[in-house]
Amino acid sequence: MNQRPARAADVAARAGVSVTAVSFVLGGKADGNIAAATRDRILAAAAELGYRPNRVAQSLRANRTHALGLMTDGIASSPFAGRLLAAAGRRAAELGQVLIVHDSHFDTERDQHTADDLAARRVDAIIYATMGLRRVDALPTTSLPLVLANCFQDEDVRPTGIPDEESVGRQAAHLLIEAGHRRVVMLSGQGVGDSHDPYRGNVAGPLRAKAFLTGLRACEIARRAGEVVVAGWGIRDGHAGALRVLLDGNGRLLAARDRPTAIFAVNDRVAVGAVMGAMSVGLCVPEDLSVVGVDDQEELADQLVPALTTFRLPHVEMGVWAVDAAQSLIDPGRGAGPVEPGRTLLPFHLVRRATVGPPNPVAGT
Amino acid sequence: MNQRPARAADVAARAGVSVTAVSFVLGGKADGNIAAATRDRILAAAAELGYRPNRVAQSLRANRTHALGLMTDGIASSPFAGRLLAAAGRRAAELGQVLIVHDSHFDTERDQHTADDLAARRVDAIIYATMGLRRVDALPTTSLPLVLANCFQDEDVRPTGIPDEESVGRQAAHLLIEAGHRRVVMLSGQGVGDSHDPYRGNVAGPLRAKAFLTGLRACEIARRAGEVVVAGWGIRDGHAGALRVLLDGNGRLLAARDRPTAIFAVNDRVAVGAVMGAMSVGLCVPEDLSVVGVDDQEELADQLVPALTTFRLPHVEMGVWAVDAAQSLIDPGRGAGPVEPGRTLLPFHLVRRATVGPPNPVAGT
DNA sequence: TTGTATGCGTTATCAC
DNA sequence: GTGATAACGCATACAA
């Protein structure tokens, strides 16, 4: 049962032809070269033997493995960025490529080692992706084509696909203002902590915050109408952050006219924490407080009660883009056309659900 | 810059030796065969040229790719089961193996195709893993060694690593009873929906429920002391389920003596929903209601306010086990010793946090 | 239209 | 101790 697979030579012998003929037929180059009868005989023999060309031999011969190395810092273990991985895998499959996944668990010391291994395995290209948007200072040295997803370098010397963080800040400002809100606050996050901190160097928070403030001002809202509070990245941080802006110094709920009527959370987990914090002090969402997040995290945003209005992070787009970009680097003829070094900004999309509404009239300006 | 990598022959030429010598030195078989001086010369030449053996050629030659195929139904996109993938990758790296990840997105029609591709690529073995515990009816046909993780067949003809679901039900019962609870209910989930439903065929819920009830009875709690309510798998389901057991027919909070004092949720998301549901009707956790979940989901269980007490699903253990099992199948000499067909039960571990406490005296028996 | 010969880069066998 | 040489399985230039 566990016998060794058939080779082209076996098929050739069975069909009474040469290996060349077999190779031509199964390689799709039979058209003007092999007689129909011969071809059918070969196909039959191949089917009987369950012959499938050995891709290792093909790879050696063609110097192309049709495999992409996917290096990540913590995507595999992330509860949200896995979408990038999934999307990349799907796109790769469509292109006949396969993904070799290497997750460093934020141990970037191993990156060079990993890249070397990938090179030794002769992957066609490397995709370097991060869980959160960050600048990578030390990219592994390699002669392989390499693209960046969700991260970037100071000099954009490699093709780079990142989310349009500034746009999401602007969009959030517009959304809340159009809904009628005048006192809004953003709960942001910062990249701090030791080198194994998943959020270390994450610049998405500041970027979103800056654009959010700009968006508020562009809509002729006074400077002080909006503020940014650094909370963090988790549910607990959102919870604490919400209480900080909702309560006074003595832990009592602020009067309606002094409270923000809407919160822009740096991500869905912070948004969930904010909703829970609001609930815990007797506020209703969205009647007393509107909340909008960022991510559209699977099984969280859509499942929350009430369901969370949020901006969908383009994880899928980044995954697809990265594979297409790698493909173009390998073979400029295929994929989505030639790719130049430099940043490609992928768009966020608003997912309207139930946590954003007009401000309570009582609390209005 | 993008020149083709050095070959053994290049190193040999530079060191003035034969390719054989190079192969011996870099293959670690130099000891009794190559003079120390020659070896040093070869090593120097290899270093200068940045020579690394071509693993494709090695694979062809040795008929071993040191690659494992990891087939999943939806792990890559799951916000929680990614731990399995991450752990498997880490263990694989330790063993010098690499993971080729194929996620079917619950399109099991493609499984056979995927397995064939993996076979053509000559992976050393296949790991078939699922997001939720389920019976697989149609495993792809392949002559490759194959192990199952988080899923099983009726006839346990393949090595199979699954969580010890019955144990977690028992443990949950003991935990709540020991804390003093006498009126407890489980919010369970069932595998329903169409063939693309991630939870289709998931049997973890029923298994946990059955053992939970058994555990209650074993502790001499009357039959009616515990009941199981089928809620679902998401936050929203937990929210609705909690309200169902906390409110009367008219939507009013049940009297303390009639309410359950503790909830065992089939997973962390249901638990989160239950906590939110309880909060929304003015109950405090854990004072008025204890809640325990299953999963220890990243960035959720530990982040909830209050932090969720839960049983950690052995995703990491399954990932490691699967790679070790595959390794043993490939090469019985290495890995964690020989593996027999049949089920290996991996243990859940209680993570004590803040959502389980003694029942409120007022509500006591 | 078909078959032969060669090379892809490595390791292993066997002479020297 | 060291070096030719033959596989591994496939694809192709070239000869028939």
Q: Between A268-280 and B268-280, two packed helices, what is the crossing angle to 10 degrees?
A: 30
Tens-digit pLDDT profile for residues B164-216 = 999 999 999 999 999 999 999 999 998 666 666 778 788 999 999 999 999 99
- Domains of chain A, earliest start first: 8-53 (1.10.260), 62-164+316-334 (3.40.50.2300), 165-313 (3.40.50.2300)
Are the C-beta atoms of residues A161 and A318 closer than 8 Å to each other?
Answer: yes
Work out the pLDDT band at A199, boundaries 50, 70, 90. Answer: confident
Q: How far is A217 from chain B (nearest CA, A)?
A: 34
**Among all chains, which residue has been given the structure tokens 């608003």?**
A350
Q: Which residue of A has its CA nearest to B67?
A: A100
Work out the pLDDT band at B364, boundaries 50, 70, 90. Answer: very low
Tens-digit pLDDT profile for residues B206-249 = 999 999 999 998 887 655 666 899 999 999 999 999 999 999 99
Percentage of residues in chain A having pLDDT higher than 90: 81
pLDDT at residue number B2: 52
pLDDT at residue number A26: 92
pLDDT at residue number B363: 43
Res B333 pLDDT > 80:
no
Is there a contact between A121 and B269 if contact means CB atoms under 8 Å apart? no
Are the C-beta atoms of residues B115 and B71 closer than 8 Å to each other?
Answer: yes
Mean pLDDT score, A133-139: 92
Q: Is the peptide bond before A306 cis (omega within 30 degrees of 0)?
A: yes
Work out the pLDDT band at A224, boundaries 50, 70, 90. Answer: low
Q: How far is A128 from chain B (nearest CA, A)?
A: 16
pLDDT at residue number B361: 82
Residues of B within 8 A of A103 (CB-CB) are 85-86, 89-90
Percentage of residues in chain A having pLDDT higher than 70: 93
Q: Dig out the tokens for A250 from the structure.
A: 């003595």
In DSSP notation, A354-365 reads: SS--PPPGGG--
**CB of A64 within 7 Å of some strand D atom:** no
Tens-digit pLDDT profile for residues B87-139 = 999 999 999 999 999 999 999 999 999 999 999 999 999 999 999 999 998 89
Is there a contact between B83 and A102 if contact means CB atoms under 8 Å apart? no
Q: Dig out the tokens for A289 from the structure.
A: 């407080």
pLDDT at residue number B1: 44
Res A364 pLDDT > 60:
no
Sequence-ordered list of residues with C-beta below 8 angstroms from that of A258, at least 6 positions apart, any chain: none
Q: Dig out the tokens for B102 from the structure.
A: 């194929």
Work out the pLDDT band at A327, boundaries 50, 70, 90. Answer: very high
pLDDT at residue number A223: 54
Tens-digit pLDDT profile for residues A40-79 = 999 999 999 999 999 999 999 999 999 999 999 987 778 7
Work out the pLDDT band at B20, boundaries 50, 70, 90. Answer: very high
Query: Which ranges of B284-357 does DSSP label H, i.e. alpha helix?
Result: 315-330
What value, to the nearest 5°, has the Cα angle with vertex B299 and ends A194 and B266?
155
pLDDT at residue number A365: 44
Sequence-ordered list of residues with C-beta below 8 angstroms from that of A257, at least 6 positions apart, any chain: A363
Residues in A 184-223 with any Cβ partner in B closer than 8 A: none
How many whole angstroms separate alpha carbon B318 and alpha carbon B246? 36
pLDDT at residue number B234: 95
For residue A181, what are the CA distances in angstroms to A175, A270, A355, B55?
9, 20, 13, 61
pLDDT at residue number B146: 97
Are the C-beta atoms of residues A109 and A73 closer than 8 Å to each other?
Answer: no
Residues of A within 8 A of B235 (CB-CB) are 299-300, 303-305
pLDDT at residue number A4: 81
Tens-digit pLDDT profile for residues B45-75 = 999 999 999 999 999 999 999 999 999 998 7
Is there a contact between B300 and A99 if contact means CB atoms under 8 Å apart? no
Q: Give me the phi and psi of A13, to 5 degrees please.
A: -60, -45
Tens-digit pLDDT profile for residues A344-361 = 999 999 999 999 999 988
**CB of A58 within 7 Å of some strand D atom:** yes
pLDDT at residue number A33: 80
Within an 8 Å CB–CB cutoff, is residue A99 touching chain B? yes
Higher per-residue confidence, B333 vs A122: A122
Q: What is the overall mean pLDDT for chain A?
A: 92
Sequence-ordered list of residues with C-beta below 8 angstroms from that of B219, at least 6 positions apart, any chain: B173, B174, B177
Res B32 pLDDT > 80:
no
Work out the pLDDT band at A111, boundaries 50, 70, 90. Answer: very high
Is there a contact between B276 and A273 if contact means CB atoms under 8 Å apart? no
Pairing relationship of beta strands A67-72 and A98-103 according to DSSP bridges:
parallel
